[in-house]
Amino acid sequence: MCADQDRHPTFKASFAERAKNASHPLLNYLFRLMELKKSNLCLSADVTSARELLTLADRIGPSIVVLKTHYDLVAGWDYHPQTGTGPKLGALARKHGFLIFEDRKFGDIGSTVQQQYTAGTARIIDWAHIVNVNMIPGKAAVTALHQAAARWRSRVNYEVRTSVSVGTPVSDEFDENGSDEADGHPTTALSPSNEPPPASNFRSEHNGRKGSIVSITTLTQSFEPVDSPRFGNSIAEGDELVYPGIEEPPWERGLLILAQMSSEGNLMTKEYTQACVEAAREHKDFVMGFISQETLNSESSDAFISMTPGCQLPPDGDEEDGSVAGDGLGQQYNTPTKLVGQCGSDIVIVGRGILKAASPQVEAERYRRKAWKAYLNRIGQ
């Protein structure tokens, strides 16, 4: 793999140049974020508690551009749509400048993957910018996820603004019987659905005494466009912070297709990988790229990103060559120099190499520097 081959133009192009040619809004944003942070690092946050996940995202966030999650590994995941774990991750993503990638690997019939993506307790689509699909069921799974994301996008770009005002009317608006002079009925402000306000808003006496109005409640609603996601304003102090130098991520969602794996003996054939590439080309406004071991751009119009797991560095101070010993469970490791510099991967995905370090923050910075250096060498800078 990664043998000498005719290099696609994206191999030598800078991320800034590729951002200009990226038609997918989220991919354009990601390339610009990578240039801004000088990072092409994704942290695979395979931890088992919500507290640990949020702490890790906060501490490692400055070094990464993507945080990869497995929400179903996490004990104590809070599913509240405004203040739960997903929204809290969203606040940290805005603060530190990274995207959230839920490594769900959807792999079922179209109707099922749509529900797994948009419904259930997790509602992945609400908080994960990126998801991925195992295309074993065929191209229909990609089409189904694309349709689900398009429907969700058409609904969420508007916020409902509601305002309520309460006041007491002036006396000359009513006759001596407490009625509207025009039609003899008590004056009220109706809701947009034309339902009368609660009876508690009024006090009318029917024992011969003059009726009186205590207050009038006015309810108005409007729909206002929203360009980027908000997960509520009650998450935590400072949740409105946005990483300096770039706007918030767009509403659009993105898909990565699992085209190649780093595990020994995997069954993803060349024919399967080619089918993944074809599906991506058919859904360019939804598919951002691939989980792969090398760049899969081959046609002149291809502008996909490649993210690669199985990246590990030797201990600090040891010479870095192309490969590192595996984990004994089938995982094969390669260094950033090989994956980025030789194979054309754009983002390296690192998990245990950072998580098990004595100082994960320090080790994340070491991976960021090495992967970025490999990218600069690749493009000749």
Give the residue ranges of the annotated binding site for substrate: 46, 68, 262, 331, 351-352
Residue 103 known to be catalytic: yes
Burial class (CB in 10 A: 0-12, 13-18, 19+), 248: middle
C-alpha span between 375 and 372 (Å, rounded): 5
Q: Which residue among the candidates 38, 58, 105, 302 is catalytic per the annotation?
A: 105
Which amino acid is present at 141? A
Q: Is 105 a catalytic residue?
A: yes
Measure CA of the first residue to CA of the last residue in the chain; give whole Å: 25
In whole angstroms, give the CA distance from residue 216 to residue 197: 9
Strand 254-258 to 130-133 pairing: parallel
Cα–Cα distance between 20 and 99 in angstroms, integer? 19
User: How many C-beta atoms surround the C-beta of residue 303 within 10 A?
Assistant: 24
Q: Which residue pairs, CB below 8 angstroms and at least 24 apart, start in 149-156?
A: 149/117, 149/125, 149/252, 149/253, 149/255, 149/286, 150/286, 151/118, 152/118, 152/125, 152/253, 153/251, 153/252, 153/253, 156/226, 156/229, 156/251
Catalytic, out of 37, 88, 95, 103: 103
Helix residue ranges per DSSP H, the chain? 9-12, 15-21, 25-37, 50-60, 85-96, 110-118, 124-127, 139-156, 270-282, 336, 352-355, 360-379
Look at the chain and count its residues.
381
Q: Which of 38, 58, 108, 126 is catalytic?
A: 108
In sequence order, the β-bridge partners of residue 66 are 42, 99
Enzyme catalytic residues: 103, 105, 108
